Amino acid sequence: SGKKTEYRIFKQHMYGGPMGLGDPYYRDLSKMEEDPMIPQRMRDITRTQLCRDLVREFSECSKNNGFSMVINCQQEKNCMVQCQKEWMEKTQFVEAVKEEYLNERSHYRQTGIKQTRYKRGKFIERDMENDPPLDSNGNYRPQKPKGWDETYTDGPPSWASFKYD
């Protein structure tokens, strides 16, 4: 017959889409995305955005106490860990972080615009002034992907369930 059959390792949703980067409408998470990616992102968000003051206090205490910080900074550490734990246990926060990631992935698959989250292993902090992490009810707001407003001038795409304001 002379016709070659193409075999692929990954599922079809990872190849299709308008840019050949995957289907933007596919909104499930792989095992690798579900764990460890989403929990790591949650830890980074709590550390850099939601528990900043407590992280700063623990960091200062550690800096000032050197090796004795293990003994002298217990209260600061416990407060920081408690803050992060409380956020990690909130269903709304977990779902918002997943939505944020899925919007970035779908946006990349739709446009080819990649959202850089880490630079040389360091989490890139959000612009807290222009894009606050909490809404008026104190819930976490997913961060808008780069190029979002310029790309979707007629409103958000149908695959996005969070409406950025």
pLDDT tens digit sequence for 60-75 = 999 999 999 999 999 9
Q: Where is pLDDT greater, at 11 or 57?
A: 57
- Whose CA is closest to 156, among 109, 95, 106, 116? 106
Q: Write out pLDDT tens, residues 9-43.
A: 666 677 778 888 889 999 999 899 999 999 999 99
52/142 Cα distance (integer angstroms)? 17
CA–CA distance from 70 to each of 34, 44, 63, 65, 78 (Å)?
A: 33, 22, 11, 9, 11
Q: How confident is the model at residue 163 (pLDDT cuts 50, 70, 90)?
A: confident
Q: How confident is the model at residue 112 (pLDDT cuts 50, 70, 90)?
A: very high
Residue 86 has pLDDT above 70, yes or no: yes
**φ, ψ of residue 82 in degrees (nearest 5):** -65, -45
Residue 136 has pLDDT above 70, yes or no: yes
What is the residue-averaged pLDDT of the chain?
A: 91
